[in-house]
């Protein structure tokens, strides 16, 4: 394509959705559906890989927007709770085709992973008592610990920017260890760092935290048998307040579903995360797996809708305000505190899960080798998870530990 043709193509792609005729609008929505169905089907490797694929598809190949615009949208996803790569897909949809685009892009990105995880959950419930499957998961779990450690390290380098964020992270780690409510800790850390930075710059602002504080004070459901509605409410709460990496989800699930309600064991939680790792799309589709374990097909649907619904709402509310939020001193300060708090939550739950996973010499060796690989080499985590499953299967087949 010549330079002149590229310019014409870029100008055509930049036409606002409201200025298109009915046929053009329909075509744009169809393009969004196709692109994000494809990405949702092949997007292995976590949020960073997902974002790189969107950049390649949306900016380089299709010229739907400039890279600067994409980076602006990515930046604002860090200011709101929820899964960053999914929210970026929703932002792109909204920019391209308004409300229809918002719904279509987000749904199509989530749907392939949801269906795959749903099917695997049904298989898991049916066959988890078969020794071979148990040994597969036995090999996968130490790999998950190494992957979470890498995520913890990367988050730490980004989250601990200065002394206030370091103090916030350590304080949250200690308080969470002492069983203080994790949502309250996120809110307090965000407010603390925000006020400190505003005081230093002399800025003043009010932060609209009513909804978040209401979530922090809401009682946690604690019953022995979950219904689909209870599954929906738990994941709606988590989706409404969860900042940071998808792996921070572990902290919430461990506290709410393992320790408080005792709906799951820590081993089942690790199994759910392992399934999330070997499937494409958002890590948050772990909610589909857990929802199925707790309340069958209705639970799978309820868990998925509950955890992703806030992302659609937040993007719809925030997108028009992207320029102002990006430069807001209170928004950036609050985010710094919340990210540091997320780091503390992750550290505690990683230790807890590692203590329950590393039970013998083979699991320790697998975890150590996996840690070396993920820290030293750029290897897709899905391959590591598959390798861990193969090691577990071999251990059972060859009788290494029998």
Mean pLDDT value of segment 4-32 = 73
**Which of the pair, 296 or 71, is modelled with greater confidence?**
296
pLDDT at 247: 62
pLDDT at 201: 58
Taking 90 as the threshold, does the pLDDT of residue 326 lie above it?
A: no
For residue 331, what are the contacts with CB-CB under 8 A and spacing of at least 6?
A: 79, 325
Q: How confident is the model at residue 380 (pLDDT cuts 50, 70, 90)?
A: low
**Residue 33, φ and ψ in degrees, nearest 5:** -60, -45
pLDDT at 208: 38
Taking 80 as the threshold, does the pLDDT of residue 114 lie above it?
A: yes
Taking 70 as the threshold, does the pLDDT of residue 68 lie above it?
A: yes
Return the number of other C-beta atoms located less than 10 Å from residue 211's C-beta: 10
Q: How confident is the model at residue 267 (pLDDT cuts 50, 70, 90)?
A: confident
Mean pLDDT value of segment 322-330 = 69
Whether residue 209 sits in one domain with residue 174: yes
Mean pLDDT value of segment 5-23 = 65
CA–CA gap between residue 41 and residue 354 (Å, rounded): 30
CA 235 centroid distance within chain: 13
Mean pLDDT value of segment 262-280 = 82
Whether residue 34 sits in one domain with residue 160: no
Q: What is the mean pLDDT of the chain?
A: 80
Mean pLDDT value of segment 178-205 = 76
Q: Are 245 and 282 in contact (CB under 8 A)?
A: no
H or E, element range at 73: helix 67-77
Token digits of residue 96:
């391209």
Whether residue 63 sits in one domain with residue 184: no
**Residue 62, φ and ψ in degrees, nearest 5:** -105, -15
Whether residue 120 sits in one domain with residue 92: no
**Which of the pair, 20 or 204, is modelled with greater confidence?**
20
Mean pLDDT value of segment 7-13 = 48
pLDDT at 210: 33
Whether residue 174 sits in one domain with residue 37: no
H or E, element range at 86: helix 84-127
Last residue in a domain, options 60, 82, 107:
107
Whether residue 272 sits in one domain with residue 161: yes
CA–CA gap between residue 332 and residue 338 (Å, rounded): 10
Which residue, chain included where needed, has tokens 């009010």?
206
Last residue in a domain, options 107, 138, 163:
107
CA–CA gap between residue 283 and residue 73 (Å, rounded): 20
Instruction: Look up the domain containing 71 and give its range.
Output: 3-107
Whether residue 249 sits in one domain with residue 135: yes
98-102, 160-164, 202-206, 374-378: which is most confident = 98-102
Please, what is the end-to-end C-alpha distance for the chain in angstroms? 63
- Kindly report, residue by residue over 125-161, the tens digit of the pLDDT: 887 644 555 677 688 788 878 877 876 787 677 778 8
Whether residue 65 sits in one domain with residue 128: no
Which residue, chain included where needed, has tokens 């730490």?
156
Mean pLDDT value of segment 280-309 = 93
In terms of residues, how long is the chain? Answer: 402
Burial group, residue 281, by CB count within 10 angstroms (0-12, 13-18, 19+) = buried
Whether residue 208 sits in one domain with residue 93: no
pLDDT at 344: 84
Whether residue 239 sits in one domain with residue 384: yes
pTM score over 0.75: no
Last residue in a domain, options 107, 135, 165:
107
Whether residue 126 sits in one domain with residue 67: no
Q: How confident is the model at residue 49 (pLDDT cuts 50, 70, 90)?
A: low
Taking 50 as the threshold, does the pLDDT of residue 399 lie above it?
A: yes
Q: How many domains does the chain have?
A: 2
Taking 50 as the threshold, does the pLDDT of residue 221 lie above it?
A: no
Whether residue 7 sits in one domain with residue 83: yes
Taking 80 as the threshold, does the pLDDT of residue 102 lie above it?
A: yes
Q: Print burial letters for 161-200: b (CB count within 10 Å at least 16), e (below 16).
A: eeebbebbbebbbebbeeeebbbebbbbbbbbbbbbbbee
pLDDT at 202: 54
Mean pLDDT value of segment 250-264 = 86
């Amino acid at each position: 394509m010549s330079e002149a043709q590229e310019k014409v193509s870029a100008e055509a792609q930049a036409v606002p959705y409201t200025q298109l005729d009915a046929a053009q609008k329909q075509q744009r929505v169809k393009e969004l559906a196709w692109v994000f169905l494809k990405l949702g089907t092949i997007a292995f490797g976590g949020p960073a890989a997902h974002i790189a694929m969107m950049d390649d598809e949306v900016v380089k190949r299709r010229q739907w927007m400039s890279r600067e615009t994409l980076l602006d949208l990515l930046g604002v996803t860090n200011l709101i709770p929820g899964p960053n790569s999914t929210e970026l897909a929703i932002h792109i949809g909204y920019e391209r085709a308004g409300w229809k685009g918002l719904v279509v892009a987000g749904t199509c990105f989530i749907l392939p992973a949801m269906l795959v995880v749903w099917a695997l959950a049904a298989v898991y419930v049916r066959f988890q008592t078969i020794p071979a499957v148990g040994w597969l998961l036995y090999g996968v779990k130490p790999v998950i610990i190494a992957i979470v450690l890498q995520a913890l390290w990367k988050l730490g380098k980004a989250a601990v920017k200065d002394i206030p964020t370091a103090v916030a992270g350590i304080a949250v780690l200690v308080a969470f260890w002492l069983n203080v409510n994790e949502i309250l800790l996120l809110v307090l850390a965000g407010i603390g760092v925000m006020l400190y930075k505003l005081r230093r710059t002399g800025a003043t602002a009010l932060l609209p935290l009513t909804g978040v504080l209401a979530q922090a004070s809401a009682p946690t459901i604690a019953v022995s048998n979950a219904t689909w509605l209870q599954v929906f409410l738990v994941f709606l709460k988590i989706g409404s307040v969860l900042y940071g990496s998808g792996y921070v989800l572990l902290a919430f699930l461990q506290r709410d579903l393992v320790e408080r309600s005792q709906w799951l064991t820590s081993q089942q939680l690790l199994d759910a995360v392992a399934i999330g790792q070997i499937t494409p799309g958002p890590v948050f589709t772990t909610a589909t797996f857990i929802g199925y374990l707790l309340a069958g097909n209705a639970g799978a649907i309820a868990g998925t809708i509950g955890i992703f619904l806030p992302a659609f709402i937040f993007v719809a509310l925030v997108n028009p305000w992207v320029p102002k939020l990006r430069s807001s001193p209170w928004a950036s300060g609050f985010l710094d505190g919340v990210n540091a708090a997320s780091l503390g939550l992750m550290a505690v739950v990683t230790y807890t899960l590692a203590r329950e996973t590393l039970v013998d010499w083979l699991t320790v060796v697998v975890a150590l080798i996996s840690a070396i690989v993920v820290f030293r080499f750029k290897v897709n985590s899905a391959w590591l998870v598959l390798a861990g499953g193969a090691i577990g299967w071999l251990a059972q087949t060859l009788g290494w530990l029998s």
